[in-house]
Structure 1
Amino acid sequence: MRILRVFFAIGITVLSISEIGAQNKNVVVNEPTKVTELVEYKKKHNNNISTNDKFRLQIFYGKGSEAKQALASFRSLHPEIDATITYSTPSYKVMAGNFKTRIEAERNLKIVKKSFPNTLLIRPGR
């Protein structure tokens, strides 16, 4: 019994003094250089893209119930153009399209103005 206590005490002493490998603060990550190159390429590419440089059409501005009606009417007349309702205190807006160029936006503005004469061409974020 005494020998068991001695071995136990020696074991605890050795474990408490020795350095355990899992407790090192150094972490080594091995990744291929191709991954690093792709991440850097993606960062550069994303910096060139600006989400606020798009043109949109404002179809309606007013109460929420009327905005829902205007959105439903717009979607039935122009299913090829994406539209959504946004809230801008204290009213709602029906916004349509996400055009890259002003020419493309103006072309669609002419088409939409036939059914929604109060449509405006805007550039959000500016």
Structure 2
Amino acid sequence: MRILKTRQALFILFFVTLFSGKSFAQNATVTIEQDEKFMQLLNEKRRINSSITVNDHYKIQVFYGDNKEARKTLAIFKREFPDMDTTIVFESPTYKVWAGSYDNRIAAERMLEAIKQKYPYALLIKPNK
């Protein structure tokens, strides 16, 4: 019985090694074609992202929530404060509306008090990447 199992094992091993040399993996060449406009957009995004500095300035967060409400809040805020720089920032899972860019905390707090009259949940932040 033991000899029979050994022969079976050797027989299986023989065929496995015999056919393993004959098996081939798939060989393929992948060619990627992309539109030139894609690279232009990608370069533009890189240029814009490198010009955004958020590390060294105070900002006022006016809103956080879903995308639709953030866009609506941004449009209303721009009408009420047209001279202030505003942007929407996505930090998973919420969208945030940030306003202003202040070098010192005192100037940011002064503007925060004016904004809190219309947006009571506004808060002062100093973002970092």
TM range (shorter): 0.5 to 0.7
* Residue 116 of structure 1: how far off its partner (Å): 0.6
> In 2, Cα distance between the equivalents of 1:115 and 1:80?
16
Residue 60 of structure 2 aligns with an amino acid whose one-letter code is: L
Q: CA RMSD in A?
A: 1.5
CA offsets, 1:39-80, max 9 Å, x none? xxxxxxxxxxx8612100000000000000100110000111
Contiguous gaps of at least 5 residues in structure 2: 1-52
In the TM superposition, 1:55-66 aligns within 5 A as: 55-66=58-69
Contiguous gaps of at least 5 residues in structure 1: 1-49
Q: Which runs of 4+ in 1 moved over 2 A?
A: none
Residue 89 of structure 1 aligns with an amino acid whose one-letter code is: S
Find the partner of 1:78 among 69, 81, 86.
81
Change (3 A) 1:87 1:105: same
Tell me how many residue pairs correspond in the alignment. Answer: 77
| TM score, norm. by length of structure 1 | 0.58
Residue 78 of structure 1 aligns with an amino acid whose one-letter code is: F
Say if 2:62 and 2:123, in contact at 8 Å, map to a contact too: yes
Residue 57 of structure 1 aligns with an amino acid whose one-letter code is: I
CA offsets, 1:71-98, max 9 Å, x none? 0110000111110001010110000001
Identity of matched residues, %: 43
User: 1:118 is paired with a residue of what secondary structure?
Assistant: coil
> In 2, Cα distance between the equivalents of 1:79 and 1:113?
16
> In 2, Cα distance between the equivalents of 1:64 and 1:58?
15
- Counterpart residue number, 1:100: 103
| TM score, norm. by length of structure 2 | 0.57
- Counterpart residue number, 1:113: 116
- Counterpart residue number, 1:29: none
Change (3 A) 1:94 1:51: closer
